[in-house]
Structure 1
Amino acid sequence: MFEEKIKNRQARIGVVGLGYVGLPVLLAFGKNGFPVLGLDVDADKVEQLNCGRSYIHHIPEEAVRSLLETGRFQTTTDFSRASGLDAVLICVPTPLTQHREPDMRYIVATARALSPHLVANQLIVLESTTYPGTTRDVLIPELESQTVLRANRDFWVAYSPEREDPNNREFSVSNVPKVIGADHPTGLQWTESLYGAITQTTVPIGDTRVAEAAKLMENVFRSVNIALVNELKVIFDRMGIDIWQVIDVAKTKPFGYMPFFPGPGLGGHCIPIDPFYLSWKAKEYGIVTRFIELAGEINVSMPNYVMEKIQSALNRQSKSVRGSCIFILGVAYKKDVDDDRESVSFKIMETIEAQGGSADFHDPYIAVIGDKKEYPHFTGKQRAPLEDMGRYDLTVILTDHSAYDYDFIVKESRMVVDTRNACRHIQSDKIIKA
């Protein structure tokens, strides 16, 4: 019955959590002809979507409006409406606590909100990145907490990790292979049928823990390799060698090498966080994850390296950080997105101000800094005009947005610290690479 509904595009699909992961998934199902319902505790997001507006830069409003016009697209804060769904996908955040331990409160809260409204023959899929065992040990007990229904008997549970890369125009939900993990054959079959309707390739595995571990492996791999190239950046800089030229030469090898690129530190919701989920879980088995911990230490130290370069650039002007006005370009964690979660820019801005300087920012996609729990004093801070760049003692490029005219930036700035090799085609003694 479920698979027949999928085939006929009659299955009603719900997505909990309408952020950078959940909203694209919701739109993908809607675009493929399914009736979809978005659920979120944020009433503002729900209202904007129901009015045809997008709050994520790289998701055009036309994509939302066109689905609204079909009548198959709705969003709500009312979780009781989950009882009318055939499948519910959970795409909520999985941050770390201040002690770098997994914070399961969003998964737990979502499962508790859904539990009273579960119905027989429903499929629940967790997409949030998490440690091996979360689906079995955390999600299922909470889903069963307020109902007589039992998982993998009356309703089915699976884990399918998100592989969203915001604003990546080459890869999207439709052409990225979708890993599917379930502990029951029926759950696996149903989940494969579900995602097979919107993506070209599914990768089924009959074990949720393997699927959970695979997602962590992907991000640990990136974290360790980014740490390696960040460490090489510092080493080669001391030798007077340009790391970016080294990478350009090394990546000409057609096998056995994959280029990774250095930066001012890690940002986003995945790489700075996910490896520590595995590190925490490994401690239950008496294992110290030395590679993961070392990679984390190196990546976390990169803002200090940037500060050294900032000090060096100011020294050339016979100035110190104290009393200097510094212009930060980019607070998004990567280029051409409006996502500033875990952005290293805030750490660098905080360090500048702690050392007696002042830091203003500009970002074409972020006009005002939103609520920042770790940096509450930046909440509400507005971007400065790009045209005022010349009045600052130093410009620091932390996010290499495509919208920036780097020739103009170098021309108008007194000096530039470039952490992204954004000015690689410009010859100027104003530029210091970091």
Structure 2
Amino acid sequence: MSLPHRIRPAAAVVAGGALVVGAAILAAPAGAAEYTGRPVQAEPIRVATFNLSLNRAVEGELVDDLSTGDDAQARTVAEIIQRADPDVILLNEFDYVGGGAAVDLFRDNYLEVAQGGADPIEFPYAFVAPSNTGEPSGFDLNNNGVIGGGDDAFGFGAFPGQYGMVVLSKLPIDVDEVRTFQSFLWKDMPGALLPDDPATAAPADWYSPEELEVFRLSSKSHWDVPVQVGGQTVHILASHPTPPTFDGPEDRNGRRNHDEIRFWADYISPGQGRYIYDDEGRRGGLSPADSFVILGDQNADPFDGDSVDAAITQLLDNRRITDPKPASAGGPEASILQGGANLTHRGDPAYDTADFADTAPGNLRADYVLPSTKLSVVDAGVFWPLSTDPLSALTGTFPFPSSDHRLVWVDLQVPRVGR
């Protein structure tokens, strides 16, 4: 399996190292280019998303595992990233560690070291911030009569930050304009699909009024991370909605998944995002002039699985979004070989990005790179090699050497500004 070769202008990557933690920049690169505002040729950029399952059962274990270059899973996911060679990538299920220690270790010991014959890759810029996963709510959110544990956290997790996110970039991040929405309350979304307790007559009452006063929409967080590309700004919109399962007839996770996806649909649609506020209190969404790419494991397939009202179509059918439909040869092969639920799926397995249980739900399209229509799509793909390809050892079968998700990438052209 090979990915299309890209020729990038030498000035496309600015030298230097930066790590953004929350909204603070720890080290800034020098020598950034000055731009005059004259439009010139388009700038090529490869954007990717990868749920790499670098989560651990115990807090601090990921730092221990990444402290040497010997962790087999970390080496494998690093090689996949090296072979895809993205300019910007969102990593889902990467445990959050304050100060960015885990991110630094992954870059230093794995990404910047050749893996399996692939070239090392450097991401001078990174954004990492806290996640709602594992953050105690102080309430009995699953209504089992006991307060505590992952199900009663603001997002499911055994400890704060488990299953977190990271944005890595070869291109500068505009740290002053980063927006996070970790604390946005679900009840503040107009028409929110709040879950109903089927045992009572009252509507939408699974959560008490007191719980709704603190219950956050994001199971991890939603981030708007502006990246500078050839003098233009591209907003990287990153999230990882909860799976629409692991609940009961109230379907609280399915409904939350739907509205976590809806958040971005409203954020990018003129006039629809006025209700949105970020963690600094700034209101509103993007303007019609803004370019963006929505990234992440959305835990929603347009045809199969358990999502509510085909939740992902809120994005796929949005007039501001292009769906590049990244595909692979390995997805259809896996669907045939694994059988089970895959045999009754309505969706094209070429677009699958997740190798889930064969009994249910089967393989699904869960991971997305969705650019705004202002950006031209050149190419797209899913890193899912055929079983006859030597690189299939990187994806494998259960128990997976890397992740049950596949890296998804899209090549774009961004209008560049001349110097």
After TM superposition, the score normalised by the length of structure 1 is 0.24
Comparing both chains, which one has the higher relative contact order based on Cα–Cα distances under 8 Å and sequence gaps of 6 or more?
2
Task: State the structure with more CA Rg.
Answer: 1
Larger proportion of strand = 2
Larger proportion of helix = 1
After TM superposition, the score normalised by the length of structure 2 is 0.25
